[in-house]
């Protein structure tokens, strides 16, 4: 995690230039259903530079968590109209009690952390029964060979992101999560929008 923290501290000044444009529409699509919900406690897990913030409805109470201070510093100016706290922390070991949030947003974090199953389990732990987890990330399909992605993964996972995460594998460790929606988002389905519900 220390190497990843250092990498994203270095990436912070250029992160938006690389990610903001390609991800804007799909972020908005993922977060749009939050506008119809009553006031809720929502965790933005892996908030990064705050690219989700312009798409968040104002009625909720938000907590934005990230591993790097450099990312959080870039996120803060985007949150002027929101009720939000920013927390420095590890998505694989969240600093919150069980059932602290009504909903959790996991945008481009599950394929970044070294242990995505631990990240998903922690998100499930802190969400209340009946709450949702909204996921946007890149995943290999079960059984996909993807030789180039697997070849690049040993280097990529140390510097920025994993390229070998199979969502169905990490979901298998979370028996209390049910898939509500799963659709292709970008790059012919490499990126997916997934909604989960915590059943108990």
Give the domain range for residue 149: 2-198
- Per the CB < 8 A criterion, the answer to whether 94 and 81 are in contact is no
CB atoms within 10 A of CB 47: 27
Q: What is the mean pLDDT of residues 123-149?
A: 89
- Rounded to two decimals, the pTM is 0.92
Looking at the chain, the whole-number percentage of residues with pLDDT higher than 70 is 92
CATH number at 164 reads: 3.40.50.150
Map tokens 């997916």 to a residue.
192
What are the DSSP calls for 29-72, one per residue?
Answer: HHHGGGGGSPS-EEEEET-TT-TTGGGS-TTSEEEEEES-HHHH
Strand 127-138 with 101-107, pairing: parallel
Rounded to the nearest integer, the mean pLDDT of the chain is: 91
pLDDT band (50, 70, 90) for residue 155: low
Identify the bridge partners of residue 194 per DSSP, sorted by sequence position: 135, 182
Q: What is the mean pLDDT of residues 97-122?
A: 96
Q: What is the pLDDT of residue 6?
A: 77
Q: What is the pLDDT of residue 147?
A: 64
pLDDT band (50, 70, 90) for residue 34: very high
More confidently predicted of 15 and 45: 45
Most confidently predicted of 17-21, 32-36, 170-174: 32-36
- Per the CB < 8 A criterion, the answer to whether 40 and 130 are in contact is no
List the structure tokens of 125.
């732990």
How many domains does the chain divide into?
Answer: 1
């Amino acid at each position: 995690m220390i190497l990843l923290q250092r990498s994203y501290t270095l990436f912070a000044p250029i992160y938006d230039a690389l990610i903001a444009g390609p991800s804007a529409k799909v972020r908005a699509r993922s977060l749009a259903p939050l506008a119809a919900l009553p006031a809720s406690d929502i965790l933005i897990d892996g908030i990064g530079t705050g690219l989700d913030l312009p798409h968040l409805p104002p009625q909720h109470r938000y907590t934005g968590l990230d591993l790097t201070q450099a990312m959080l510093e870039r996120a803060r100016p985007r949150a002027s109209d929101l009720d939000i706290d920013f927390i420095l922390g590890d998505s694989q070991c969240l600093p919150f009690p069980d059932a602290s949030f009504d909903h959790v947003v996991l945008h481009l974090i599950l394929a970044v952390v070294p242990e995505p199953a631990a990240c998903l389990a922690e998100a499930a732990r802190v969400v209340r029964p009946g709450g949702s987890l909204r996921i946007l990330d890149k995943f290999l399909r079960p059984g996909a060979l993807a030789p180039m992605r697997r070849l690049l993964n040993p280097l990529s996972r140390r510097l920025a992101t994993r390229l070998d995460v199979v969502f169905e594998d990490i979901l298998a460790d979370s028996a209390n999560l049910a898939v509500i929606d799963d659709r292709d988002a970008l790059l012919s389905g490499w990126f997916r929008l997934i909604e989960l519900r915590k059943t108990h």
